[in-house]
Structure 1
Amino acid sequence: MQTVNPYVIITDATADLPADMAAELGVTVIPMEFQLSDQTYEHFADAHVISIPDVYNRLRNGELASTSQINTFTYTQYFEPFFQEGKDILYIAFSSGLSGTQQAAVIAANDLLEKYPERKFSCVDSLCASMGEGLLVYTAAKKKENGLSFDELNQWLLDNRLHLCHWFTVDDLNHLKRGGRISGATAAIGSILNIKPVMHVDDEGHLIAVSKVRGRKKSLLSLVEHMEQTYSPDQNDIIFIGHGDSLEDAEFVRDLVQEKFGISNILISYIGPVIGAHSGPGTIALFFFGSQR
């Protein structure tokens, strides 16, 4: 009879999973660094270093933010104790289309596997971001609880990651401008005309602008309209909605989703500062499993 080795699921702070949910699922979340006005902070799932509302307030006041990738030393610190305990690691990484973080994870793990050759490691490129990555991790952890083996869950992730749909809009175009996502001219004209972009994450894990609408309410309605086009009822037992310190708008989208789809299990939570540094205050994002992205 084949021995099934115990394994753990690890992800990074860009997944924006609430700390209590991650703990309940037994998921380890590796913190990520961001810079705010030249000071560096570590963002943990419980945001104990600096609160997420504080970060958004400082962004509203004009402070500039940037982010850093997780380095190999940090990965080694988090991975090695599990290998020492005889556990294999399934790491679900932030989209390679948005960051090179997963490359550092693979380098760290390969070095450790020379020391622990009996262990198994897989780095799954989620091709997801924020709570889209979080919903993929949440669903994977639930499947692990239901008995999926390391190899089975690894394959499920590869087969299903492109069914994780991300639809979001931002309130202030200047944050996308600073991150190089749009030009200064586009940001200036869009702000004058009250243009709100509707965006998603494509099959390569890149951030893509899909359409532009005039006005905040129309942009929020558009998120749910896109959900209607691909939503798969049998794949969703929970829907995630993320917000950049804009709870009232997140609740507006939640109410629309409940009305149109009859879904009661909806998690609303913050988009953390690592993603929020680029999308800015007022970002609203809707995540669910669909027939395609």
Structure 2
Amino acid sequence: MKLAILTDTNSGISSQEAQERGVFLLDMPLIIDDKVYYQGKNLTDSDFCQALEGDQCVTTCHPSLGNLVKSWEDLFKQGFDQVVYIPMSSALSSSCSSAKLLAESYPGRVHVVDNHRISVTQKASVLKALALAHKNKTGQEIKEDLEKEALRATIYLSVNNLDYLKKGGRVTPAAAAIASVLNIKPILTIQGEKIDSYGRVRGRIQRAQKKMLLAIQKDLKEKFSQESLDDLSLGLTGFGISKDLEEAWLDLAREAFPQVRIHYDPLPASIASHTGPGAFGIGLSLDSI
């Protein structure tokens, strides 16, 4: 049996990495002033930052049902018997539920994973799915395994300001104005189901980063207390930041968690459109096999 692992670009996996790992990738569209773009293809992160800062109209959407079906059919034409599709969390987009409905037309062939993850934790699930496929697990077995561990993940995001959340209607203009005047940097969290407020700091971004690292330490003691560090994956992310800031973020995390595997990937555009430039993130997940 040949089995394909398909995910979307909300995982933070680039087309180059997908090709190297043997993962298949579905591009998530971005609409800027009524024109469709795809992150990493006809839209660089630098161009995306300029679009956001230039006050252009930026919206996100999920791939068309036609493109989704075409991606499955193309994999079958390449000789694959089954497809495991790992989209972004159903709590954050309707794309997962739409894919599940479409998969009913491919019984036993397309397995849509309601993974409740996005960004670095979604990527960890994709890598686990690959490892399970190499152990000759079926699509149904991989789906059941990933969904069983779906909520064993946590993400924290620091936002430079509330302007972009205000544009999306997620905070009031008054709250955004107060945060700007007081130099408040909000910290958000994703615990599977939705984005919530976690806390806030005043001043430099390093304070927000340290608060996020403390939150991860707390999760290690409480949420993952029974797990071996070898079974955990720690992913860092950011958007609209320099290479130096990226390296400094990695150094802070490595110093705080020297025994945990750490990787860095850019923040997907679907999240970055709400956070704006200058965002940092960290995600911890259990992905033992």
Tell me if TM exceeds 0.5: yes
- How many residues matched? 277
CA distance in 1, matches of 2:132, 2:253: 25
Distance 1:264 1:290, change over 3 A: closer
Partner of 1:187: 176
| Superimposed CA distance per residue, residues 194-243 of structure 1 (whole angstroms, 9 cap, x where no aligned partner) | 11111111232x1111112112221111111111112351322x432111
Partner of 2:7: 11
**Cα deviation, residue 148, structure 1:** 3.4
CA distance in 1, matches of 2:5, 2:281: 24
CA distance in 1, matches of 2:9, 2:260: 26
Partner of 1:219: 208
8 A Cα contact 1:171 1:283, kept in partner: yes
TM-score (norm 2): 0.88
Higher mean Cα deviation, 254-263 or 219-228? 254-263
Partner of 2:125: 136
CA distance in 1, matches of 2:139, 2:104: 18
Distance 1:139 1:290, change over 3 A: closer
CA distance in 2, matches of 1:9, 1:52: 26
Partner of 2:94: 100
**Cα deviation, residue 245, structure 1:** 2.0
Query: Residue 69 of structure 1: which of 53, 58, 62 is its match?
Result: 62
| Corresponding residue SS for 2:151 | helix
Distance 1:110 1:250, change over 3 A: same
| Corresponding residue SS for 2:150 | helix
Higher mean Cα deviation, 190-199 or 132-141? 132-141
| Corresponding residue SS for 1:69 | coil
Letter in structure 1 aligned against 2:28: M
Partner of 1:31: 27
TM-score (norm 1): 0.87
Letter in structure 1 aligned against 2:237: G
Distance 1:211 1:290, change over 3 A: farther
8 A Cα contact 1:165 1:290, kept in partner: no
Higher mean Cα deviation, 128-137 or 171-180? 128-137
Letter in structure 1 aligned against 2:271: I
**Cα deviation, residue 263, structure 1:** 4.2
| Corresponding residue SS for 2:160 | coil
Runs (4+) of structure 1 moved beyond 3 Å? 146-149, 247-250
| Corresponding residue SS for 1:96 | coil
CA distance in 2, matches of 1:102, 1:260: 35
CA RMSD of superposed structures (Å): 2.1
**Cα deviation, residue 28, structure 1:** 0.9
Is it true that 1:50 corresponds to 2:46 in the alignment?
no
CA distance in 2, matches of 1:224, 1:54: 30
**What is the correspondence of 1:208-287 to structure 2 with a 5 Å cutoff?**
208-215=196-203, 216-231=205-220, 232=224, 233-236=229-232, 238-247=233-242, 248-263=244-259, 265-287=261-283
Is it true that 1:87 corresponds to 2:81 in the alignment?
yes
8 A Cα contact 2:150 2:192, kept in partner: no
8 A Cα contact 1:245 1:270, kept in partner: no
Distance 1:192 1:251, change over 3 A: same
Letter in structure 2 aligned against 1:41: Y
CA distance in 2, matches of 1:167, 1:251: 18
Query: Residue 185 of structure 2: which of 196, 210, 213 is its match?
Result: 196
**Cα deviation, residue 10, structure 1:** 0.8
